[in-house]
Amino acid sequence: MLKTILTALRSPDLRKKLLFTAFILAVYRFGSYVPVPGIDLDALQAAIDQRGSRLLDFLNLFAGGALTRFAVFALGIMPYITASIILQLMTVVIPRLEALQKEGESGQQKITQYTRYFTVVLALLQSMAYVLYFKSQDALPDFSPGRFYLIVISVTAGTVLLMWLGELITQRGVGNGISLLIFASIVASVPDAVDGWLTLPPVSQVLILLIALAVVVGVVFINEGQRRIPIQYAKRVVGRRMTSGGTTYMPLRVNMAGVIPVIFASSVVILPPTLAELAGQNSFFQDVSDFLAPGSWYYIIFEALLIVLFTYFYTAVQFNPVEQADNLKKYGGFIPGVRPGRPTAVYLDRVLTRLTLPGAIYLAIIAELPNIVFRYLPDSNVFFGVLGGTSILIVVGVALDTMRQMEAQLMMRSYEGFLK
């Protein structure tokens, strides 16, 4: 990893991209410390210290600490993630969106535009829920309708700005911008997690360290695991020349979806408490929020099921067996022992389904392991309450994906240099 970064810094083009990415992340961290107008920070902090909860800590983690400061980036990038989930699910049931998805780049641009509009709507709803929550906790003195709208608009504008910054990183920087913003939010909590870990007894320190290392090793293991499908190419006549056939392979990764299912699942489990604040304490959403309290068995099982579900869903979005089979047939490739065309698509779908199931279950276990440990080792809350299994999984997964993209760009530039 360090060798890849050093090599990338020697390339002028990649160095510019890395510096641009670092600059955008620095802007994001700066915005996490800029409070919105009309907030009494002392009253807010006193209310949080007195009535803090695991749910608030969880939401604050994905906002990089901006929520407890009620900064302009208090919502983080989670409204955009939630909007993306809903739009992708709607493409399955709405023919118009499904048609747009098949139109290629132009259709994807329209879906992206719809996602942006929907993000603004969700950000408005979520910001109103947070304002009402902090008001109910007496954290917002001198509350008035004018101040309410000012706070809501400021926080919503912060989410829109974050969405734009994430797209800038994707277009002009290195890695996936949205994932890197979440990565930066979680990494910002590492010092607090380490401080809490140092206050524990030696036995608890060793146990928590072993669990954290097990999560890291598990993420690396599942992200790098793959099954190689052998591909044979027949001899072809191109013009007056005959190209020789060859043998290669199609790599099918055990975890083709990466950390996206974990991010999606995390954004879904925070919806009930958000809606509960808007609907009131005696609403259906409040009952659901109480039922899925962070750290409870219901919460653990529900989030694990969501991770498995989103792993299958996002894998289906990333890899289309029918399309892959058609491409193989078009270029004269085939899998030994399998007929080209539909039989190849059926074979790839069967292999991918069998491969995804253990990967999805493994991913869910790794994400929920620290939550299970917390139930039987309450002292671990000073570490896992700040930096849980989901957070560790996202950090390691995003780091691996970013390194993989940097290596791909370095390899591409090596080929360009060879051709010149």
Q: What residues have CB less than 8 Å from 403, skipping those under 6 apart?
A: 1, 4
Going by C-alpha positions, the residue among 402, 413, 418 that lies closest to residue 10 is: 413
* CA atoms of 156 and 129, how far apart (whole Å): 12
Residue-wise pLDDT for 142-189, tens only, equals: 777 888 888 888 889 989 999 999 989 988 888 888 888 888 888 887
Write the DSSP symbol of residue 274: H
Domains of the chain: 1-188 (1.10.3370.10), 191-420 (1.10.3370.10)
Task: List the alpha helices (DSSP H) in 173-189.
Answer: 177-187
**What is the overall mean pLDDT for the chain?**
78
Distance (Å, whole) CA 250 – CA 335:
10
- Find which of 152-166, 292-306, 319-333, 367-381 is predicted with most confidence, using mean pLDDT: 152-166
Using one digit for the tens of pLDDT, what is the confidence trace for 256-314? Answer: 877 778 877 877 877 777 677 666 666 677 777 777 777 778 888 888 899 898 888 88
Query: Is pLDDT above 80 for 224?
Result: no
pLDDT higher at 308 or 401: 308
Q: Which residues contact 42 (CB under 8 A, 6 or more apart)?
A: none
Closest of 2, 27, 62 to residue 173, by C-alpha:
27
Q: For the chain, what percent of residues have pLDDT higher than 90?
A: 3
- Determine the Cα–Cα distance for residues 328 and 340; give it in Å rounded to an integer: 8
pLDDT class of 418 with cuts at 50, 70, 90: very low
**Given its phi and psi angles, is residue 52 left (phi above 0), alpha (psi -120 to 50 degrees) or beta?**
beta
Q: What is the pTM of this model?
A: 0.74
